[in-house]
Amino acid sequence: MGPRQYYNPEIETMDRSELDALIEERVRYTVNYAADNSLFYKKWFRENNINPSDIRSHEDLLELPIISGKTIRENQPPVQDDFGFRMVDWNDVFTVHETSGTSGTPKSFFLTWKDWERYAEKYARCFLSQGFGPEDRVVVCASYGMNVGANTMTLAARHIGMTMIPEGKCTFPVRVMESYRPTSIVASIFKLLRLAKRMKDQGMEPSESSIERLVIGGESFAEESRNYVSEIWDCEVYNNYGSTEGTMCGECTEVNGLHVPEDMVHLDVYDPHMDKFVKDGECGRLVLTTLLPVGAKSGNVLLNYDTEDTTVVLSRDKCACGRTHMKIMTPQREAETFWTADTPFNRVDIEKGVFQRENMEYLTGEYEAFLYGGDDEGETTLRVSMECNDMQRCNEELIKENFLRSFFAYKKKLENAYIDGSLNIIFNYLRPGELEFYRIKGRPKRIVDRR
């Protein structure tokens, strides 16, 4: 018998028309469940003069107002006496979770055991679509705490029969690689690069280790950085995108977009500037709606929730892997998008410039960038600091040329601003350990706007 390819083959390979019918059935049930069980939604439907029973289809769902993280925070303590989005009695709440709170008071979420089972199934589908099986031993370099990611992956492993090594951080001793011979690691791009360096320093080549595949989770990244990690470890690198809100999308072995578990998460893309939803193939903000099986309960349901991440719907056609669920582009955080010269650019655009393959002969991959306002009105300075392996042999001019070529490739207005002097780009080359974020506790901010 060959390796297991699907977790729920009937659902994952369901014909598009049947899948759409299932989605609409769950839209109707979920909307009414929210209206019946949430203090917030009872008031929300009343104030917006909407009858929940009138929401019958995907098109009807698009007519509902958008809610946001701000909406959640305004409907929980300390602003309100109770949690407006909690939908079950405390006796039915299995765990309580919070988001990181980087943009204010952490958002609170309440999960029943059935919620956990649904979350775990989403990740199990991702793992199986990437070729994982019972023989795999996976090091998890994600926090086991109020964030749901690490726990969800661990529960998913139980369904597949995988062995998990719950390190939590990627600073574990190199002996773990030798003693347990893991076949995979779940971590960020930079954690994997740092681990590879520690292994090399101790005489162990990552490309000759037991690792068969890697999974990037927790942040968006440039394809160039993924390719470099793949080269260092000599294996395929997959991308998973998940959140406490319950998205959990993942690439399959085709590596051409992330499959969305459409039977459990409904995903739309809208343009907040024009206040309307956009067509497939157009970029916009990722909006999700929880979908519950008919008769199910949930501790939290979100309807038309703005994740504040941007994406593109790539395809709704059947994938070569056999799955019929839609695929999206790797989401990018709106908070990491900045504007200058009437043009947006994201942290990923900076990373793409850093990780140009020729550059990596001289750079470690670690970088940070800062935006400053100039003395003249409308003048902007972008300072990009990059860590060099060896300052004496660092080809600064080559790195600069490669970065600018990449950065301006699809941003003509930025290039024109650079030429006319209204955008200054300064390159700063530093020794390992000299970047500013090393002196600050917590997750590094790769780009900071100081204008």
* Cα 19 to Cα 124: distance, rounded to the nearest angstrom: 19
Distances (CA, A) of 441 to 46, 49, 159, 444, 445: 45, 47, 36, 8, 11
User: pLDDT for 274-314, tens place per residue?
Assistant: 788 999 999 999 999 999 999 999 999 999 999 999 999 99
Q: Residue 2: which pLDDT band, with cuts at 50, 70 and 90?
A: low
User: pLDDT for 374-428, tens place per residue?
Assistant: 656 678 999 999 999 999 999 999 999 999 999 999 899 999 999 999 999 999 9
User: pLDDT for 173-195, tens place per residue?
Assistant: 999 999 999 999 999 999 999 99
Domains, the chain, with CATH or none: 1-330 (3.40.50.12780), 336-449 (3.30.300.30)
The residue type at 361: E
pLDDT at 145 over 90: no
User: pLDDT for 38-56, tens place per residue?
Assistant: 999 999 999 999 999 999 9
Contact present, 206 and 161 (Cβ < 8 Å): no
pTM of the model: 0.92
Across 324-330, average pLDDT: 96
Distances (CA, A) of 283 to 3, 239, 332: 36, 19, 11
pLDDT of residue 1: 38
| Residues whose CB is less than 8 angstroms from the CB of residue 90 and which lie 6 or more positions away in sequence, other chains included | none
pLDDT at 449 over 80: yes
386 CB-side CA count, 13 A = 28
Q: Residue 433: which pLDDT band, with cuts at 50, 70 and 90?
A: very high
pLDDT at 327 over 50: yes
Cα Rg for the chain, rounded, in angstroms?
Answer: 23
Which two structure tokens, joined as six digits, stand for 193? 């690069």
Which two structure tokens, joined as six digits, stand for 425? 């780009």
Q: Residue 30: which pLDDT band, with cuts at 50, 70 and 90?
A: very high
pLDDT at 101 over 90: no
Residue the block writes with tokens 């740092």: 194
Contact present, 265 and 247 (Cβ < 8 Å): yes
* Cα 10 to Cα 17: distance, rounded to the nearest angstrom: 14
Question: What's the burial of 261, exposed, middle or buried (CB within 10 Å: 0-12/13-18/19+)?
Answer: buried
